[in-house]
Amino acid sequence: MSKKETVYVVSDSVGETADMMVKAVTSQFLGQDVDIKHFSYVENQQDINNVITVSKYTHSIIAYTIVLPTLKQYLDQRAEEEGIIAVDLMHPLMDAFTQKFNIEPNHQPGQMRKLDENYFKRVEAIEFAVKYDDGQEARGLKQADIVIVGVSRTSKTPLSMYLANKKFKVANVPLIPEIPPPQELFTIPRKKCVGLIITPEKLNSIRKERLKSLGLTTPANYASLNRILEELDSAEQIMKKIGCPIIDVSNKAIEETADVILAMFNKRGSFA
C-alpha cells in the first residue's frame, strides 16, 4: 500500500479552481492515496509562512492559485529556500493571455466567484420573471425590482426576460378593462412600476398578425380597433392612478425600451 501524501491547495480566494485541478491530476494516479488540505484567503506573508512551515514538516506539495504578484513571488521564494515543490496553476495561462491579448490582468482575487454569483443572480431573476409573468401570483409584485404594466401585445414578457438577463427581478401585469388589476399594484412604490403604451394602429397590426399565426382568420374582437381604443384608454387611467412613468413602445425595439427603463432607474436609483 502506497504512503499517503499531502497536497496543500493555497489560494488568495476560496481555492475551488486549484482544488478541482488537484483532484483531476490525482485521479490519474490510481492507487496513490492523496490528502488535499486547504489554505484559503491567503492575504499576507505570514499566511505564506504558515503554509511553508506545515508543507516542510509534512514533505508536501503546494498547488496554488494566487493572483497577487507580491504574494506569488514571496511564496515561490520561500518554497525554493525550503526545497518545497510549489506549482503555480494560474500564471502560465495568465501569461499566455497577456501575450496573446496584449493586455494586463487585473490581479484581483475572487473574480471567479463574482462571475458565479452574477450567473446565479441572473438565473434567479429569470426564474422570477417566469413565475410572475402575465399577472401570476400578485404577491410577487412586492418582491419585484421592476413591475411592468400594459395591455396585451405590448411586449411585456420579452421585456421582462431581457431585464431578467440583466439580473433584475421583473413582474408584469396585463391590463384588461373587465378585470380589475391586483390591489398590490397600488401599494407598491411607484418608483418600481412602469407602464407601456402603443398607438392603436400599431397594436391593431400586431394583434392581427398574432391571430394569423394562430390560424384564426375570422374577425375577432381582440384585434378590432374599437376594442383596442377601449383597452388603451382603460390602461392609461390605471397607469395615471398608479402614478408610474409611461413609455410609448410603438416604434421601439425591446432593447431600446429596456434602456429607457434602466435610465429611469439609474437616474436617482428609482423610477420616480
Any binding-site annotation on 140? no
Which residue is associated with the grid cell 412604490? 189
Q: How far apart are CA 104 and CA 51, in angstroms?
A: 28
Which residues, including other chains, have CB under 8 Å from residue 33's CB and lie 6 or more apart? 1, 2, 3, 4, 5
d(CA 264, CA 272): 8
Name the H helices within the chain.
16-26, 45-58, 69-82, 91-101, 111-131, 140-143, 156-164, 200-213, 225-242, 254-268
Q: Is 14 helix (H, G, I), strand (E, B) or coil?
A: coil
154 marked among binding-site residues: yes
> Burial, 198: exposed, middle or buried (Cβ in 10 Å; 0-12, 13-18, 19+)?
buried
* 153 labeled part of a ligand binding site: yes
Smallest Cα–Cα separation from 128: which of 110, 111, 142?
142
Joined together, the cell numbers standing for residue 135 give 399577472
Non-local (6+) Cβ contacts of 111 within 8 A are 67
Q: Is 151 annotated as a binding residue?
A: yes
Following CA atoms 36, 39, 41, 46 in sequence, which dihedral angle do they give, to the nearest 10 degrees?
A: -160
Do the annotations mark residue 157 as ligand-binding? yes
Tell me the CA end-to-end span of the chain in Å, nearest whole number.
71
210 is in an annotated binding site: no
Known binding residues are 150-157
Known binding residues for ADP are 150-157
